[in-house]
Structures are given as structure tokens and as C-alpha cells.
Amino acid sequence: MNLAVIGAGSMGAQIAQQAALGGVDVFLHDKSAAQLEKARSSNRGHIMRRVEKGKLAADEAEKALSGVHESTDLTEAVSRADFVIEAVFEDLELKRSIFAELDRAALPEAVLASNSSTMGISKIADVTSRPERCVNMHFFYPVLVMDLVEVVRGPQTSDETVERAMSAAREIGRTPVLINKEIDGFIVNRILHAATQEAYRLLDAGVAGFEDIDTAVEKGLNWPMGPFRLGDFSGLDVTYNARLHMYRSTGDERFRPSPQLEAKVKAGKLGRKTGEGWYRYAK
Ligand SMILES: NC(=O)c1ccc[n+]([C@@H]2O[C@H](COP(=O)([O-])OP(=O)(O)OC[C@H]3O[C@@H](n4cnc5c(N)ncnc54)[C@H](O)[C@@H]3O)[C@@H](O)[C@H]2O)c1
């Protein structure tokens, strides 16, 4: 596979690096040279830590690092690609304009995949002349650690494209699951939201404190982090906005954000990044 990754932020940088670790030839594109530089140095840090821990041989590390080619020119980045994964900002108009550009610049047989967390491919693919070769591939942060890709087919995605996306995920060294229908939240966020919503319901009803709910989930379900600790880790604004999005798009009362969560966000207590959320963190 010749892969191109568009957008070198938190996700794109690591998708490219994970692919190169698996021996895939990959071009990473961002319109910002500074962002490409940041991606390279961050990837080097991650890979070198593996070498220090004895988990990766030094020559393999260098091969994986030099396997990610970079370009600020989108046309150059996709010129040889038979598979493209887009990971730019979560902005529908931006994604649509990138897909229109990719449709013009990429090989006609290339698959165009989007890593969007919330936008089904049908919202984007209609700007291309190849909607049957467009698909969602939802990776998880941090991609170098998290072994899952949700492959989501849109109404026009062909069987062949689904197969190619599933095998691309495997070539990148990640386990794919197939979602046959576009649905908000795909599988993982759907289940996470349901569990988190129940945790907030228990909190709001005064059934238990957040620390005890976290402990119950961590010890009883073996989750590495309970819902409140996880919220602090991801950012309570992210959790709040995701719930608001689900609530507005489904109208389902189950997704209405908790008043206590809303209060935290309004008070600027967003979790680790602000030093306080549900828990307090040393600065
Ligand atoms: N962060 C997560 O946990 C996560 C998890 C799964 C999926 N996603 C999805 O992945 C996508 C990227 O998220 P992220 O967290 O990596 O974002 P990010 O903000 O870290 O990176 C986005 C990158 O896109 C680049 N970009 C913006 N406009 C561009 C353009 N016109 N051409 C080229 N590059 C451009 C930016 O320079 C930036 O480097 C989003 O769709 C998001 O929903 C994010």
C-alpha cells in the first residue's frame, strides 16, 4: 500500500508513524511546515522511548522514522498513493474542500478515508466523483498505543472499498471493526457515552460521589479509568461538547449534559489541562 495522510496533528502524525512501523510507504501532508516539524519530533520521541526500553531495535526505529515522508504540497503527497486518510480539523466545510482537492489530485483508484469522529462519510463524499471509494476510518488517540479502527461504511461505499479499508487498517498494524450503518458515535463512543451518562445520572441523583463511582467502574469493570477520571484526562469541555452534539443531533434526553458537568465547564474547570476538573492536579 502507498499511503498518504492529510493533516499532521495529534492523529495524522501518529497514523503515519504507525503505518511506517508496519513497513508501509507513507507521505504525511500538512499545510503548515511547523506542524510537520512538530509531528516529526514528537514521533521521534515516542519511537526512541521504545528503543530505550528495549522494545525496538535502533535500526528498525530509524527505518520507521525515515519511512514517513513529508510535504506541504498536497498534490505531491498523494501523487503515488492508492490509499489516503484525511485527519484535518473536525470542520465539515474544510473536510469537504480537502476531499474535492483529493479527488482531483489522487489516483482515480485511490480510496479516500476520513478519520472524522462525528461526520459520516456521506456528508463529505458527495463532493467527489468517487463516493463508492470513500469511507470513514476512525482511529483512537494515541494511535501508537490504541489498537482499534472503526471502519464505517456510508450508503454509497462499495464492498471493495470496505475490504480495502479493513485490510489497510491491518497493514497499519491495527485491528479493524466494521460498522455497516452510519451512526453518531460509531460503536465505542456510543457505549462510552451510555456508560458515562449513567455515571452522571447516579452522581446527579446523589446516589454516590464521583470518586466512588470511578472506583466502582475501575475495580468492578476493570476499566483503566472511571468516567470522571477519563473526563478530566480528555478535557471536560470535550466530554460536554460531545454530549451536547449527541443531544442536539438525536434529541434524545439520555444524552442531555449533566448539570454538574455543565457547571464545571462554565467554571473553567476542564480537567488536567487547567489543573482542576473532578480532581485536582499538581501544576
Ligand atoms: N484527537 C482525538 O482524540 C481524535 C480521535 C479520533 C479521531 N479524531 C479526528 O481526527 C481529526 C484530526 O483530529 P486531531 O486531534 O489530530 O486534530 P489536530 O488539531 O491535532 O490536527 C489537525 C491538523 O490539520 C491540519 N490542517 C488544517 N487545515 C488543513 C488543510 N487545509 N490542509 C492540510 N492540513 C490542514 C492542521 O494544521 C493540524 O495539524 C478530526 O477529524 C478528529 O475528529 C480525533
pLDDT per position as a tens digit, 103-154? 999 999 999 999 999 899 999 999 999 999 999 999 999 999 999 999 999 9
Q: What is the DSSP letter of 191?
A: H
| Residue whose CB lies within 8 A of the most ligand 1 atoms, among 11, 84, 140, 239, for a mutation test | 11
Q: Among all chains, which residue has been given the C-alpha cell 485511490?
A: 110
User: From the candidates 117, 136, 234, 258, which is the catalytic residue?
Assistant: 117
Strand partners, 68: 26
* Phi/psi at 86 (5° precision): -95, 130
Q: Among all chains, which residue has been given the C-alpha cell 499511503?
A: 3
* Phi/psi at 7 (5° precision): 105, 120
Is 66 considered catalytic here?
no
Q: What is the pTM of this model?
A: 0.92
Concatenating the DSSP letter of every residue in 212-268 gives: HHHHHHHHHS--SS-HHHHHHHH-HHHHHHHHHHHHHHH--GGGSPPHHHHHHHHTT
Q: Among all chains, which residue has been given the C-alpha cell 460536554?
A: 240
**What confidence score (pLDDT) does residue 170 get?**
98
Condensed to tens digits (0 to 9), the pLDDT of residues 25-34 reads 999 999 999 9
Per-residue confidence band for 246, with pLDDT thresholds at 50, 70 and 90: confident
Is 46 considered catalytic here?
no
CA atoms within 13 A on the CB side of 262: 8
What mean pLDDT do residues 203-232 have?
97
User: From the candidates 43, 114, 116, 189, which is the catalytic residue?
Assistant: 189
Is 10 considered catalytic here?
no
Helix, strand, or coil (residue 135): strand
| Residue whose CB lies within 8 A of the most ligand 1 atoms, among 75, 92, 117, 145, for a mutation test | 117
